Amino acid sequence: MKPFDYVRVGGAEDLAQASAGRFLAGGTNLIDLMKHEIETPDRLFDITRADLPTQDLASVEPREDGLRIGALVTNADLAASEQVRRRYPVLAEALLSGASPQLRNKATTGGNLLQRTRCPYFYDRARACNKRQPGTGCDAMGGFNRMHAVLGTSEACIAAHPSDMAVAMAALDVRVETRKADGTKRSLSLDELYRLPGDAPEKDHVLDPGELITAVVLPAQVPSRQAYRKVRDRASYAFALVSAAVVVELDAGRIRNPRIALGGVAPRPWRARRAETRLEGQAPSRALFLQTMTEEFEAARGHGHNDFKIDLAPRLVADMLGELTETTHD
Partner 1 sequence: MTEMMSMEVQAERPLGRALDRVDGIAKVSGRAMYAADYRPASDLAEGFIVEAPAAPGRIRRLDVSRAEDAEGVIAVLTSANVPEQRTYGAPEDAGRFTQSHAVLQGDRVRHVGQPVALIVARTLEQARHAASLVEVEIEVDAEGGIFDALAHEDLAFAPDSLDGADDADTQKGDLARELAGSDHRVGATYHTAMQHAAAMEPHVSVAEWDGDQLTVHMGIQIVASAVKAFATTLQIEPEQIRIVSPFTGGGFGSKLGIHSEAVLAALAARVCDRPVRVVQTRRSVFVNAPHRERHRQELELGATADGTLTAIRHDNLAGMARDYAFAEAPASPTRASYAAPAIHTSHRVVAADIPTVDSMRAPGEAIGTLTLETAIDEMAQACGMDPLEFRLRNMPDVDPVSGAPFGDHRLESCLREGAQRFGWDGCVAPGSRREGRLLIGRGLAAAIRPNMLVGAEAEITLSPDGRFHVRTDMTDIGTGSYTILTQIAADTLGVEPGQVVTELGDSAFPKSSGSGGSFGAASTGSAVQDAASNLLSALRDRCAALGLDGNGALAFTLDSVRLGERSLALADLVGPEGMTASGSIDPDDFDTGQAGYSYGAQFAEVAVDAVTGEIRVRRLLGVFDAGRILNPKTARSQLLGGMIFGIGAALMEEGVIDPRSGAVMARDLADYHIPVNRDVPALEVHMLGASSPFANPLGAKGIGELGICGAGPAIANAVHEATGVRPRAFPIHLDHLLPNLPPV
CB of 44: closest distance to partner 1 in angstroms?
A: 15
For partner 1, the closer CB: 12 or 238: 238
Q: Would you say 154 and 197 are in contact if contact means Cβ atoms under 8 Å apart?
A: yes
Asked if residue 200 binds partner 1 (CB under 8 A), the reply is no
Number of residues counted as binding partner 1 (CB under 8 A): 41
Compute CA distances 309 → 138, 169, 312, 313, whole Å.
20, 21, 5, 6
Asked if residue 142 binds partner 1 (CB under 8 A), the reply is yes
Chosen residue from 44, 269, 319, 324 binding partner 1 by CB under 8 A: 319
For partner 1, the closer CB: 200 or 290: 290
| DSSP string for residues in 287-319 | HHHHHHHHHHGGG----STTTTHHHHHHHHHHH
Closest to 213 in 3D by CA, of 109, 68, 65: 109
Stretch that binds partner 1, among 50-58, 170-178, 249-257, 309-317 (CB under 8 A): 309-317
Asked if residue 144 binds partner 1 (CB under 8 A), the reply is yes
Asked if residue 228 binds partner 1 (CB under 8 A), the reply is no
Closest to 211 in 3D by CA, of 189, 175, 182: 182
CB of 125: closest distance to partner 1 in angstroms?
A: 8
Binding to partner 1 (CB under 8 A) within 23-42 occurs at 35-37
Residue 163 and residue 203: Cα distance in Å, rounded? 17
Binding to partner 1 (CB under 8 A) within 45-74 occurs at none
Q: Would you say 167 and 317 are in contact if contact means Cβ atoms under 8 Å apart?
A: no
Q: Would you say 3 and 35 are in contact if contact means Cβ atoms under 8 Å apart?
A: no
Q: Would you say 140 and 255 are in contact if contact means Cβ atoms under 8 Å apart?
A: no
Binding to partner 1 (CB under 8 A) within 232-251 occurs at 232-239, 241-242
For partner 1, the closer CB: 1 or 299: 1
End-to-end CA distance of the chain: 58
Can you give the binding site for partner 1, defined by CB under 8 A? Answer: 1-3, 35-37, 118, 120-121, 123-124, 126-127, 139, 142-144, 229, 231-239, 241-242, 286, 289-290, 308, 311-312, 315-316, 318-319, 322, 329
